[in-house]
Chain A
Amino acid sequence: MSEEAKLRIIEWVKQQKKTKHYFNDLCKAVPEIKMMQAKKIINELVAEGKLKYWSSGSTTMYMLPSEGDVDKEEKGMN
């Protein structure tokens, strides 16, 4: 269940035009799963390196590792 949900979340993210996603939006990929459970799954995806955090300081969003790059960010290219 969890592995299948992870795949669906990643697929959903890949289909989006935007690169950064709110937690609530990621949960749309797995509407049958309770938010608390979805949180665990999404954090596992982060731990596995399949998603990563982007934070403005006040809000946190999620993105694919291929979308954001620390080097580029530091050179002002992101």
Chain B
Amino acid sequence: MAQKHATPMLDELEKGPWPSFVTDVKRMAPKSKMCEDWLGLMEMSYRDKEGHWKHGGIVGVLGYGGGVIGRYCDRPDLFPNVAHFHTVRVNQPASKYYNTQILRQMCDLFERRGSGLTNMHGSTGDIVLLGTTTDELEPIFYELTHDLGMDLGGSGSNMRTPEGCLGMSRCEWSCVDTQDIIYDLTMEYQDALHRPMFPYKFKFKASGCPCDCVAAIARSDCSIIGTWRDNIRIDQEAVRAYVGGELVPHAGAGGREKGSFDIKAEVVDLCPTRCMEWDGKTLKIWDEDCTRCMHCIRVMPRALRPGLDTGATILVGAKAPILEGAQLSSVVIPFIKMEPPYGEFKEFVEKMWDYWMEHGKNRERLGEMIQRVSLREFLKACDLTPDPRMINTPRFNPYIFYDPAEVPGGWEHDGVAFRQRHQA
């Protein structure tokens, strides 16, 4: 079928071995006028090297301050079917478990009421419905909530849709029930998810173990990462079986087969804290020095397993580079049990939010605020005690900044007078 708009530049993006979004949109175009005009608009943008979308607006659904992002085309005269092309974020089920019936219903709904284009999934984990008109927003919301049992996700200065790894549902290493944590946080903080109140976005992500499959440490303002505080469980027989070539290291990942396995080179010498020793018969681990990097467990999953006294480490402050550079989260609670109803964790979250709302500048992420006010002030505000595990190399930095309130007698520092005495 002939295309409405010629797309010689977009066609280039279909060449090569990779899947192409252009092919996907062309497949939808015979069924969707929005997709036809989308192709024409994109071709014009590629040709002129200029974007033609206007982002943001006042559109939304009644009672919600997030979940819909207004988008308009600045050439509705040429491409009237994408004059409005709003994005709808749908809260994905915990760990993204669906049945095919729901997926079909959702696709049918969006073919009827939008462009039919979806993004599975956005980086926050939401199902993203790409391109609909203002008059379809309320009907989409009604059908999502009433017929599909689904809700909108977060956008703007809201708590964003929490996201977690598969957790205990499929992974033997998971130290916490990420699905339950994500569901619980989603339900507990519905108001924060749907009605904005923060200086900027706020993301929770939960990973069941330190492998951190959802990259919580890099992508979330509050990362919940499963860990253990007892010892790595060792099956010495299985260790010997790996060394003897009876078991495949890495569970065969990367095409690895049975054969030679150098435990010293592949495991012991790669331990970041050198807390392991192999004497030819027995593997010894000094667990007090283990930093939970998971490398040894990943290489020999039949021989090594996380401990049994499990919980989570809570870290805060990750973000992508917009204002400052990218930041990873920092540890603020080295170990917490994370058992339902997660009261201790929620108490921390609410103190953290109170402080951020009070002290955060507009469009300042939590991690940026902590960098500005100092981790010490943040810990104080959240009633947390500083701990060596919050520091990358605790024995390395000789500088200790004492708090006058914590030193008997204290002292006063007059910054202005100091500058007068030290003018250069």
Contacts and interface: CB of A to CB of B under 8 A. Distances in A.
Interface of A: 22-25, 34-36, 39, 42-43, 46-47, 52-60, 63, 68, 70, 73-74, 76, 78
Given A47-B63, A55-B65, A55-B69, A24 B134 contact: no
Interface in B84-101: 84, 87
Interface of B is mostly: loop
Nearest to B63: A47
B170 to A, nearest CB: 32
Contacts, number: 102
A46 B55 CA distance: 22
A55 B87 CA distance: 12
User: For A24, A42, A68, A70, which residue has the most chain B Cβ atoms within 10 angstroms?
Assistant: A24
A53 B56 CA distance: 11
Contacts of A42: 197
Interface stretch (B19-27, B198-206, B254-262): B198-206
A70 B156 contact: no
Interface in B63-113: 63, 65-66, 68-70, 72, 74, 76, 83-84, 87
Interface of B: 54-60, 63, 65-66, 68-70, 72, 74, 76, 83-84, 87, 134, 155-158, 195-201, 353-354, 357-358, 360-363
Nearest to B74: A76
Contact of A74 (B83, B158, B354): B83
User: For A52, A55, A58, which residue has the most chain B Cβ atoms within 10 angstroms?
Assistant: A55
Given A35-B358, A36-B357, A53-B60, A59 B200 contact: yes
A57 B87 contact: yes
A51 to B, nearest CB: 10
B294 to A, nearest CB: 33
Contacts of B87: 57
A53 B65 contact: yes
19 contacts: A22-B157, A23-B196, A46-B195, A53-B196, A55-B57, A55-B60, A55-B66, A55-B68, A56-B55, A56-B156, A59-B157, A59-B200, A59-B362, A60-B157, A68-B58, A73-B57, A73-B72, A74-B83, A76-B74
Contacts of B72: 73-74, 76
Contact of A70 (B59, B195, B201): B59
Contacts of A53: 58, 60, 65, 156, 196
Given A22-B199, A74-B72, A60 B58 contact: no
A42 to B, nearest CB: 8
Given A22-B363, A35-B358, 15 more contacts: A24-B360, A25-B362, A35-B197, A42-B197, A43-B65, A46-B195, A52-B58, A55-B56, A55-B66, A55-B196, A56-B69, A57-B156, A58-B156, A60-B66, A70-B57
B362 A22 contact: yes
Contacts of B354: 34-36
A5 B157 CA distance: 22
Contacts of B65: 43, 46, 53, 55, 60
A60 B156 contact: yes
A19 B55 CA distance: 18
A76 to B, nearest CB: 7
Q: List the 10 shortest-distance A-B pairs measured between CB atoms, nearest first.
A: A60-B156, A56-B56, A60-B196, A35-B357, A57-B69, A39-B197, A55-B156, A60-B157, A22-B362, A53-B65
A61 B259 CA distance: 61
B353 to A, nearest CB: 8
